Structure 1
């Protein structure tokens, strides 16, 4: 096509291009580009004309050329595949009849703000500045896999896909891309999977107020995503799996006020991740399972009511747990571990309480751990564990043993004071003392000379046997508790 074979609308754009001036075809600032198919020839531009301008257009000396258009209807395919464009492209509030093809192209800046497109093909695109699809409505796929964007990627308030269609691939493909600054998608609405798998972002990923819907599938696949600062998702809404497996987020993963839903599977997966702070403050209860296995988090700010019934937290390590709550509110979570009884989550919760100096809470968690473990033991071992628990709380309740000893001591002293056992050798036996006789029976390592000198009969003999046996049990459990306490210190 000859560059001179132009319509009046195209000549306006051609004349403005060398000066970097804008051409506004809009009749009003609030018109809807969704109706662009009805726009007439007075605001219609052929994609091949735009391509010719960008690749071979006249450049005025001393001026910065650029394509700057508002409110145009663009027909045909804007085909810049593998092309090198030296001028910024700004096509705002435009209506594209066909999907632009910018695969492998290199461009200083690309702005499609407020435009309507059937799709965007721009895999391995190189953008020296920013890429904006802010407020765009794109019915099909946005292919940006492997893109290299030196500046930021903006998709605020964009609408991707349609709720009535099912795509066989992600609606936004930004996998294995490299974004030098931020990925900002505040208020994004995506009907289909959003993929950031293997992507590197130098700054922040912001999904505040976004709505990601892919029922029964993956709403966000950000596996092995690496960001420079934060991943924000305040008030985020997801319908589908939120996959953050293996991510690296040095500062905050902020999901405050979010609502995550994937009832038929894992709603939140952040296993094997390294995260500075994970926030689910004021978030709705997660609908679906949560998988945080082997994740490393410095601060875990998750209220108990946000956790679902199914969790996988074996190997999850954290230094500080917030808000600070009594262990009775944290322990039910450990009962929900999908793998049954696992000791590590109890040890991690104990460590978190000790980090903030709450030793009493740490002891409560350790006691709960032993009680949970007891349910996995054979009957005879469960019986022995129950005795240790009842006697001294597995060593974490040492005053309980003193209470048992005092009760048995009073019982034996009263019983033998009312009925003295007969002496074996009356001429050699010391004077009977019911208190010290009971102590002789209870404490196997103490001998006051009373037990060997007197022999009770009848039910008193059975009482003495009971005191001897319980004395041995108490002595053993106390020794075990002391040993456990010393090993902790």
Structure 2
């Protein structure tokens, strides 16, 4: 391209390229319009000078036409700051050293499978259509701070980052997106920052991050999301921080992290989640969960965690298990029991086990439920053994007083030992052990019926105590 074919603004850009000089067209010296085909020629075959580092550093330009760099190689710094693009830049498959579009306005961006040797900066950009970065390889960081994307009516995801590789951080605090973000299969070597981001795609996926791999943390404090966040199978060795986050997807799943492996999951200090929470088969080292953030429906089947913080009374933790739409899940109760035992709170652990037996009772047949109620009332399923002694002492007192007021006649008066109402009642109550009273005396009338009741009660107590002890020993 001949320099004589260029407008005054384009000539300024052309002459500044070889030395990497900044060209700000807002200074009033020339018009703002620069043709995209001029920039393409400059980036691919622009003039070079010895001992100088070439670069396009353009500010405040109005770029017309399509900037087409598909599968091209650009070995210089490219910076379009505060620029306005009429058409969607098409740079799919291109290889660039560095690309900066900060504070620019674009109708979209088509950059699938690009390779950037440095960083890609889209800070404060305004996109009126989809941004496609799927399969991109970025050796530095990806910056999306305070960027605005809207593609709700396009029928395509607003931001495609699927299968992307970022060798540093993905920085997007204050990001605003209307539409879906796709991060499935992506790999970020550093951390992902979504603090103060606002994502909206009501009734559909707002963030699809299935099988995402992150090297450190995902920071999403004060995140506001309308739609489903899908984190199935993600790998986050550090922290997934949702402190003070607002998650909403009424009538459907708000947060899904099934089969995920996460170092720490923080869900606290925020409003109650609207929608379903799905943590099925997830593996979490530390689950930092405030009961107030739990939605009305959760799915926790086969969820495993080592620590559960903050330390809360059992009454505040059990609703988490009772809201599981999958029904009774013994594994959930065992996990909560293990968490309490890990911090030495054995009393709370026993209460969780008692709640587990009571929940299991609701799944049994009528006779199973009946027997469960008997075990619960007598010994608390073995977790309240002192209750059995209370029953024993009460029945012993009733029997001793009754037989003292109405002593039974001896079967063989000449051979019978002296009658003792206390030991006679003990003989009736305690199976196997005998004090010689029961075999020597035979109650009559109502006293005989009382004796039958005491014998039956003794066997019930013995059976329930044995069942409770067996359950406790086998659990240990």
Q: TM-score range by the shorter chain?
A: over 0.9
What's 1:62 paired with? 51
Residues of 2 paired with 1:331 and 1:380: CA distance? 26
Q: CA deviation at 1:327?
A: 1.0
Residues of 2 paired with 1:348 and 1:153: CA distance? 39
Residues of 2 paired with 1:27 and 1:341: CA distance? 70
Q: 1:322 aligned to 2:305?
A: no
What's 2:282 paired with? 295
Residues of 2 paired with 1:62 and 1:117: CA distance? 34
- Give yes or no for contact 1:167–1:192 (8 Å, CA) kept in 2: no
> Which structure 2 segments of 5+ residues have no match?
none
What's 2:145 paired with? 156
Residues of 2 paired with 1:21 and 1:281: CA distance? 49
Q: 1:85 aligned to 2:64?
A: no
SS of the counterpart of 2:349? helix
Within 5 Å, which residues of 2 pair with 1:337-416? 337-416=324-403
- Give yes or no for contact 2:113–2:137 (8 Å, CA) kept in 1: yes
Q: Give the direction of change, closer, same or farther, for the CA distance of 1:262–1:487 in structure 2 (3 Å limit).
A: same
Residues of 1 paired with 2:329 and 2:244: CA distance? 30
> Which structure 1 segments of 5+ residues have no match?
29-39
Q: CA deviation at 1:168?
A: 1.1
- Give yes or no for contact 1:188–1:210 (8 Å, CA) kept in 2: yes
SS of the counterpart of 2:301? coil
Q: CA deviation at 1:264?
A: 2.2
Structure 1 residue ranges, 4+ long, deviating more than 3 angstroms after superposition: 1-4
Residues of 2 paired with 1:179 and 1:328: CA distance? 44
Q: CA deviation at 1:485?
A: 2.4
Q: Deviations over 1:192-219 (max 9, x none)?
A: 0011110000000110000000011111
Q: Deviations over 1:278-301 (max 9, x none)?
A: 001202111000110000000000
What's 1:258 paired with? 245
What's 1:110 paired with? 99
SS of the counterpart of 1:86? strand
Q: Deviations over 1:244-277 (max 9, x none)?
A: 0000000000000000000121000000000000
SS of the counterpart of 2:76? coil
Within 5 Å, which residues of 2 pair with 1:28-177? 42-161=31-150, 165-177=152-164
Q: CA deviation at 1:483?
A: 1.9
SS of the counterpart of 1:452? coil
For residue 286 of structure 1, the aligned residue among 273, 278, 288 is 273
- Give yes or no for contact 2:20–2:56 (8 Å, CA) kept in 1: yes
Q: CA deviation at 1:27?
A: 4.7
Q: CA deviation at 1:3?
A: 4.3
Q: CA deviation at 1:4?
A: 3.3
What's 1:26 paired with? 26
Residues of 1 paired with 2:305 and 2:465: CA distance? 33
Residues of 2 paired with 1:264 and 1:74: CA distance? 45
What's 2:409 paired with? 422
What's 1:230 paired with? 217
- Give yes or no for contact 2:40–2:68 (8 Å, CA) kept in 1: yes
- Give yes or no for contact 2:3–2:11 (8 Å, CA) kept in 1: no
What's 1:12 paired with? 12
SS of the counterpart of 2:409? coil
SS of the counterpart of 2:312? coil
Aligned residues: 476
TM-score (norm 1): 0.96
- Give yes or no for contact 1:3–1:52 (8 Å, CA) kept in 2: no
Residues of 2 paired with 1:139 and 1:459: CA distance? 91
Q: Deviations over 1:366-424 (max 9, x none)?
A: 01000000011111111111111111111100100010000000110011011101111
Within 5 Å, which residues of 2 pair with 1:447-458? 447-458=434-445
Residues of 1 paired with 2:199 and 2:371: CA distance? 53
Q: CA deviation at 1:486?
A: 2.2
SS of the counterpart of 1:250? strand
What's 1:478 paired with? 465
What's 2:190 paired with? 203
Q: 1:459 aligned to 2:466?
A: no
Q: Deviations over 1:115-165 (max 9, x none)?
A: 000000000000000001110000001000000000000000000016xx4
